[in-house]
Chain A
Amino acid sequence: MKLREALQISHRPQPDGEPFSLDLVTGFEPLHLRVFLSAHVRMRLRTDRQVLVRTGLFGDFSGNLERTIQAAGAGPVIVTLEWADLHPLLGWREPAFVAAGFDEPVFLQEIETRLGQWSRILAGADQIRIVLALPVLPLPPWVGRNLKGQRSRLVLELDSLLSQFARDAARHGVRVIANPVMPAWDPAKHLMTGFPYNPVFTDALANRIAEVAMPAAPKKGLITDLDHTLWRGIVGDDGSDGVHWDLDHQARVHGWWQQFLAALAGQGTLIGVASKNDLEPVAAALARKDLLAPVEKLFPIEAHWLEKTESIHRIAAAWNVGLNSVVFVDDNPLEIDAVRQAMPEVECFFFPANDPAGVAELLERLRELYGVESVRDEDLLRVASLRQRVEIEEHLVGSGSGAEDRFANLGSRLKLDLRRPAAPRALELINKTNQFNLNGSCWDEADWQSWSARPEARVALLGYEDRYGPLGNIAVLAAEQQGENLMIRSWVMSCRAFSRRIEFATLQCLLECWQCQTIQFDWRKTERNEPTAMALRTLVGELPASGILEISVAALRKSLPLLYLDNCEVLEN
């Protein structure tokens, strides 16, 4: 992005509402970084708004950090550290006297003390999304005594102190960015204006910060081909022992791919297989003990001679996710093209089996698409519960007198977490759930935090388990209590929890916790929320396309189907 484009984006009038605010902590004049940041963050907002970037005082990094953290709002805080903020001797712009008797240990102790102070400030701000950019400017040559071709001990000590600071910050939830690798410094402008970076680097830095401060939802599933992708060789021709993924057979890149899939599966990403093959040799190869990919996590396996597009449809249906959450990887460009044309929502990647550098690049790119900040219990349960879903639905959705008995014997146990602030999983579920979703509305993290801190806001995060096992946290209900009325703004439930009447049990339990006489649902029909519509029809009858649906608590209680809860645990502050 050019500076002029960034200015245009950041100045563009917003339709209505408050601007989005964030804080930028620097010791240098923030100048163009402020503009680029405003533009890049605006482009990532779910609803278009101007971005107000609040900055501090020139040359006072410590004070700016302290004041900003104390007064931080719901928006992210961006901290951009440079060497000069640690000590004037480490900067280029302000004069610093280098005494003949420069005492290195005392100097390093001073730096360590300063970093320790900042570390404590950051540690006390774990409710704020903080993004930290570490120094990129070169250290001046008067720091350390370099011998040719050798790094000085002082510089190594400084690097070590800084790494320790970054590690401690990351342990407290601070997002430390990987700085863009490119020339950053513009010495002439730095001396003239106090702003150190050239425009190209500033654009890249602001983009990187915005990516981390306002992360996109990760992809949910990856569909891999087998022959010449998961392994080298054609399993139908070469047999299950004739396909390889090791160094000895010049097939290590396929081992990389398998290890990568194992890592994704370990964080809860869904991994499916789409292969034009007979099932028998595929099953034999996948049963090999030396397979590095987690075969128990490969679900479903579509091995047949139908088109790949058909396989992808089937896999997405089994996962119950939209095609835009799916990535497809294949070594055959024709298959890639066919999928791209028929399913433009699916992101497709060519597996360059004969190009290790290309495979490494592919893995790096995919790593970004599947980046998650933490792995929760429900992420690890996902594949198992998807496998069980069909079985459970067949078991429960039968007709006749036995159906109620089956519900009664489910052994349902709910856990309602009403604590403030709501766990991060609540917002994550609201923003990624499509089918059981009251209105499809998404929230920016800052808006969510600001709204949920209001006294009238109520948030319930629902955990569930039954005799089939735990599903983890699978539903969220966010409402506003206005006197005797409860207005439900967001209500979502994971598709893994369908067919168990959990949605109705949620309402029944919440009515005990949130006293009210009427309930309103902020309903809007979307392309995919028919499951929500079905539940609401049970409660209020026919639905409009959108609008506020109101029902008295007494009427709602009468509308609820029979519910069988063994236990409902409520967690409150």
Chain B
Amino acid sequence: MNATRSTEDRLSDCFASVFPDVPVGNLRMASAESTPGWDSIALVTLIAATEEEFETALPTEAYPDLTSFQAFLRQLEGIQ
């Protein structure tokens, strides 16, 4: 089923599970600066949820740059 959904939608699901209080419409604009609760624990959880969803491993050297939804998306698109 996942194959029929866009990368962006699936990533949005990952963000929604980590930030349940952020309205769905705002998730794609989420960033470390704008999102309450985006701390180091949330980042590591986001990385794990994303890796699980896309069955991939995000390179550890990219972690410091993963500061927004769009940054995650770019990273995934770079891998795929």
Q: Are the chains A and B members of one assembly?
A: yes
A interface, CB within 8 angstroms of B: 2-4, 7-8, 11, 31-32, 35, 188-189, 192-193, 195, 199
Q: Which of chain B's residues have a CB closer than 8 A to the CB of A188? A: 57, 60
Task: Determine which residue in B13, B48, B53, B57 has the highest number of CB atoms from chain A within 10 A of its CB, and name it.
Answer: B48
27 contacts between A and B (CB under 8 A): A2-B52, A2-B53, A3-B17, A3-B45, A3-B48, A3-B49, A4-B13, A4-B14, A4-B17, A4-B49, A4-B52, A4-B53, A7-B17, A7-B18, A7-B49, A8-B20, A11-B17, A11-B20, A31-B45, A32-B45, A35-B45, A188-B60, A189-B44, A189-B48, A192-B44, A192-B60, A192-B63
Which 8 pairs, one residue from A and one from B, show the smallest C-beta to C-beta distance? A7-B17, A11-B20, A4-B17, A193-B44, A4-B49, A3-B49, A3-B52, A8-B17
User: Chain A's nearest CB lies how many Å from the CB of B40?
Assistant: 8
Nearest CB of A to B24, in Å: 13
Residues of B bordering A, CB below 8 Å: 13-14, 17-18, 20, 41, 44-45, 48-49, 52-53, 57, 60, 63
Task: Given contacts A3-B17, A3-B45, A7-B17, list 12 more A-B pairs with CB under 8 A.
Answer: A2-B52, A4-B53, A7-B45, A7-B49, A8-B17, A8-B20, A31-B41, A188-B60, A189-B48, A192-B60, A192-B63, A193-B44
Smallest beta-carbon distance B39→chain A, Å = 12
A325 to B44, CA, bound (A): 43
Point out the residues of chain B lying under 8 angstroms from A199, CB to CB. 48, 52
Q: For residue B16, give the distance in angstroms from its CB to the closest CB of chain A.
A: 8
Q: CA A188 – CA B58 in complex, angstroms?
A: 11
Taken together as a complex, chains A and B put the C-alpha atoms of A32 and B41 apart, in Å, by 9
What is the bound-complex CA distance between A493 and B18, given in angstroms? 47
**Nearest CB on B from A422, distance (A):** 39
CB of A198, distance to nearest CB on chain B (Å): 9
B46, chain A: closest CB distance, angstroms? 10
Across the two chains, which residue of chain A brings its CB closest to B51? A199
Chain B residues with Cβ below 8 Å from A31 are 41, 44-45
Shortest beta-carbon distance from A470 to chain B in Å: 55
Given contacts A4-B53, A188-B60, A192-B60, contact A32 B48 (CB under 8 A): yes
CA distance A192 to B17 in the complex (A): 22
Nearest A-chain residue to B60, judged by Cβ: A192
Contacts of A189 in B (CB 8 A): 44, 48
Quick one: which of A3, A32, A189 has the most chain B CB within 10 A?
Answer: A3
Closest chain A residue to B21 by CB distance? Answer: A11
Complex Cα spacing A449 to B1, Å: 46
Rounded to whole angstroms, the CA-CA distance of A30 and B14 in the bound complex is: 20
Interface centre among A4, A11, A31, A192 (most CB of B within 10 A): A4
Who on chain B is nearest to A30 by CB?
Answer: B41
**Chain B residues with Cβ under 8 A from A193's Cβ?**
44
Residues in chain A near residue B41, CB distance under 8 A: 31
Among residues of A, the one whose C-beta sits closest to the C-beta of B20 is: A11
- Please indicate the chain B residues that have their CB under 8 angstroms from the CB of A7 in the complex: 17-18, 20, 45, 49
Expressed in whole angstroms, the Cα–Cα distance for A215 and B60 within the complex equals 39
Chain A residues near B53 (CB-CB < 8 A):
2, 4
Bound CA–CA A11/B44 (angstroms): 17
Q: Note all chain A residues with C-beta closer than 8 A to B57.
A: 188
How far does the Cβ of A6 sit from chain B's closest Cβ, in whole Å?
A: 9
